[in-house]
Amino acid sequence: MNILITRKRIIIFSLYVLLAVIIFCFFDIYFFGYQTPLSKFTTKIIPYPAIIINNDIVSINKYENFLEQYESYLIEFNRTKNKFDHRLALKAMIQSIALEQMILKLNININDQEFDDYIDNFYKNNNIAEINRDKFSSYFLKPIFYRQKILEKITNDNFNLENKKKIEIIYSDLIKDPDIFSSYSDLYKDDNLGIDGSLIGWLSYGRLPESLKVKVDKMQVGDFTSVIKSISGYHIYRLNGKIKNDSGDYYYQFDQIFLPIENFNNYLDNFLQKSRILYFLKTIK
């Protein structure tokens, strides 16, 4: 009986000691980094997390490996002019993981062949020798590919169905009563154009968007286009003015009705803001 009690006490005591060691290692790594002898030994045995992004855990070993690969990537592609910045590397890693999570959230299917074809074109179009292809593809080229696929998804009409339907209704209203154009253009502006987010011009023919070049020759002042989609949104343009300079070149001024489509940077920022990111290393915050 006494032997059993003694064994039980030894086990309990051992568990307390183990817990104390784990807590000590945790504080040692958190406050003093992972380069001390004890920290290095601990992280080899235990996959200590450096950061958790939503439900994805990035261990210290994975974080260290990413930093090494990131620095090699910058050097290989001549993208570093200053001292290596760990904060930028951390931001790149967080965005890389966030892009993978966004791919799953948006139900985007990607097959290996599609990615391989993208990598082939990337090296060919950038005139880059296929050095360390496997090493860089996973860490840095795959996020670029993911970004492209996400962009295709969120700029799709089905993803922006509300604004697409709204602009089509507006166009139908304009067909019935063209005089209400100004009312709509005052209401639906492009904030990126400044205070007056509807006026564009005066622009030479060469500076017009391609979508307008094919229409402007047939337009009279006061005419408006059908719905035109750009990378930023849906537009209906009205020709407000047309002048000819001494050289015989035409300049145009347009008013527009604009409804945006989803912007990638805004979408990524919103995703990161809603994400739960926990840091387990004080030195990488």
Mean pLDDT of 167-183: 95
**Maximum mean pLDDT: which of 111-120, 233-242, 243-252:** 233-242
Q: Choose among 260, 256, 171, 156: nearest CA to 209.
A: 256
Residue written as tokens 């209704």? 169
Tell me the one-letter amino acid at 222: G
H/E element, 110: none
Question: Above 70 in pLDDT, residue 255?
Answer: yes
Q: Which pTM does this prediction carry? A: 0.71
**pLDDT value for 13:** 64
What's the pLDDT band for 141 if we cut at 50, 70, 90?
A: confident
For tokens 């958790």, what's the residue?
52
Confidence of residue 130 (pLDDT cuts 50, 70, 90): low
Name the residue with tokens 């051992």. Answer: 14
> Would you say residue 165 has pLDDT above 90?
yes
Q: 3-state DSSP call for residue 277?
A: strand
Nearest to 269 by CA among 51, 85, 99, 58: 99
Name, of 21-25, 144-148, 196-200, 225-229, the range with top average pLDDT.
225-229
- The amino acid sitting at 200 is I
Integer Cα distance of 261 and 162 in angstroms = 10
Phi, psi of 224 (to 5 degrees): -130, 155
Which letter, b or e, does each residue of 163-201 get, where b requires 16 or more Cβ atoms within 10 Å of its Cβ? bbeebeebbeebeeeeeebeebbeebbbeeeeeebbbbb
Does the pLDDT at position 184 exceed 90? yes
Distance CA 271, CA 33 (A): 29
Least confident range from 120-124, 160-164, 252-256: namely 120-124
Tracing tokens 């948006």 back to the chain, one arrives at 106
Q: Phi then psi for 197, rounded to 5 degrees?
A: -80, 15
Segment 205-226 shows an average pLDDT of 90
Q: Could you identify the residue written with the tokens 């985007």?
A: 108
Q: Give the whole-angstrom CA distance, residue 38 versus residue 41.
A: 5
* Residue 124 pLDDT exceeds 80: no
SS3 assignment for 9-37: HHHHHHHHHHHHHHHHHHHHHHHHCCCCH
Q: What is the pLDDT of residues 263-281, one digit of tens each?
A: 898 899 999 999 999 887 6
Between 4 and 9, residue with greater pLDDT = 9
DSSP output for 190-231 = -GGG-SSSSEEEEEEGGGS-HHHHHHHTT--TT-B---EE-S
pLDDT for 24 equals 62
pLDDT tens string 57-78: 888 778 888 888 887 777 766 6
For the chain, the domains span 1-46, 49-155+266-285, 180-261
Q: In what order do the strands lie in the sheet containing 49-53?
A: 56-59, 49-53, 277-279
CB 185 within 8 A of CB 238: yes
Number of alpha carbons in the 13 Å side-chain half-sphere of residue 159: 17
DSSP letter, residue 6: H
- Classify domain 49-155+266-285 by CATH number: 1.10.4030.10
Say if residue 40's pLDDT is above 60.
yes
